[in-house]
Chain A
């Protein structure tokens, strides 16, 4: 039981660390919240809606995303996409992530 609790907490920490990068990676083209959540889930990174939707607003407030209301086949939806700063940040975070991923790969392969 304690092991499961510890695993759940630590896995949550791991996931929290990659949520922003995963989200930014899927906003190279404009997407609205529900569509983005589906895209992430389809690629194996489900993010709870209660976490993802507020995150989009926070990233926009930080000046990394641009957004606009659009009416396409359905109700009005707010579409989010990376702006110039967001694209630069995604590039740097991607390089960082790949470096860490390689290092972790080497560390875990030692076993």
Chain B
């Protein structure tokens, strides 16, 4: 399928979210999410052309948008371009924002759609949506770390239990780099879900909207992602293994 610039903006319209009760025209938030308190005011200011409101929004979301775009495109430079492009799409579609979801998840949906189009245009990545079924059956922890089912007393209990991490380990800069490296090695859809939920702090419903997946699928992907990243961190912290190695 080929995507052209001409059809990109229409794709970036607010998504229909039938599972969310429609809010008031002034943009009241989804009932099940926790929107920013001043979202309505910000939106009004933005619509009236208030530059400070726009700057506030850019400061708040631009870095996230680049990270989201990076999920779909091949380079940091392309991600920055996509984020810029998405802001234009946001402005153009602003009038049509109905407040069916938070402003943040609406903006993130737009950047994800723009990045998807760009990624497909550049033929850099497989569309994320085709990868939803990736690798969902793997165990969270390798089975050899548990006692066998035939164990007389403790079947399925730890034979090689985890060792607690120390505060020093958790606050170190290197651990942060390790987790970033571990997330990089995740399959794309798992990485996307963990990015939305745990890095960008979206609610599950918002994540489903941005990525166009079901809630159940989102939860499975999130679990696979977090479990693998925990394992990678464990190997890094206890065995000094390079976290950018693919998780086993």
A interacts with B: no
Q: Which residues in A have some Cβ–Cβ distance to B below 8 Å?
A: none
Q: Which residues in B have some Cβ–Cβ distance to A below 8 Å?
A: none
